[in-house]
Structures are given as structure tokens and as C-alpha cells.
Amino acid sequence: MAGLLAKEEQRPEHRDLYLKNIAYAAKPAQKANITIILEPINTRDIPGFFLNRQDEAQQICDEINAPNLQVQFDIYHCQIGEGDIATKLKRDMKRPNTGIGHIQIAGVPERHEPNIGELNYPYLFDLIDSLGYEGWIGCEYKPKAGTSDGLGWLTVSL
């Protein structure tokens, strides 16, 4: 986790330390065949969170240049903080060395089931498939009516 930024003026120092820590962790993780995933999180849900944007996370991966460092594309966080999901998926999926290591979903804007809200997940799933993503897509949401009822969207076509 990138942590909280106490004051915006501290961003350069925080960034330097964050990059040093990620680079330090990437070396032994690579030897152990472990991939490190960076997760940008929107500042509405976590005010002051340091890493907020997909392009920032990709830039950090470029700077560290470790083969086992990738970015989590959390569609919920990206839509809340940035929008333009399809364009960002297209941009980041084709990155040769880093790119997207994991995708996560939730409904926007309340973070309920993925079939509730403003996003067209059937379109996004088709796009993700067409871009060649073969990893898992995780769900991290707050069920609107409890856990069991909250899994009902899986049996219904999005």
C-alpha cells in the first residue's frame, strides 16, 4: 500500500521513499517468483491516499523497471477518480513490461454489486477479453442486501 500523504507538500519526499521501498522489495520478490502489484485508490474513499491514478502507477513501474512489478486496475477506483475506463484499459493492457497484473470490479458510485450503477460491465468484460487479458477479475464490493443476496448477480447475465 502506498500509504497516506499527510500534506501535499510532502509528495516529492513520500514518492522518493515509496519508490525506494518498492524497488527494494522487488528484488527478493523476483527471486521468489512473486509479483508485486501497485494499487491506485481514489481519494474519495481514502482521503490523502498517495497513489491515485493508473498512469502514476504505470510511471512508477517504468521508473523501477522490475519485471515482477505490475499495476492493479481497480475499475471502481479508476472510475471514481479518473473515468474513461475503456481508454485506460486499452492504454495499459498493451504496455510491454508492466501493464495490468490484476483487475478488480465493483458497482459505481456506491461500490455495490457490479450490476448496480453507472458502468456497463458487459461492454468492459468484452473489451478486456478482446485485449487478451487472461488473469482473474476480482470483486470487492459492499453487498447492498447482504453477502448471500449480494452474490445473486453472478447467476444473472450482466
User: Can 8 be counted among the known catalytic residues?
Assistant: no
- Look at the alpha carbons of 92, 37, 1, 64 in this order and tell me if their dihedral is positive or negative: negative
73, 100 Cβ separation under 8 angstroms: yes
CA distance 18 to 156: 42
- Which of the following is catalytic: 13, 39, 56, 134? 39
Phi and psi based region of residue 83 (left: phi greater than 0; alpha: psi -120 to 50; beta: remaining): left
User: Can 140 be counted among the known catalytic residues?
Assistant: yes
114, 75 Cβ separation under 8 angstroms: no
DSSP character for 50?
A: S
- The residues annotated as belonging to the active site are 39, 140
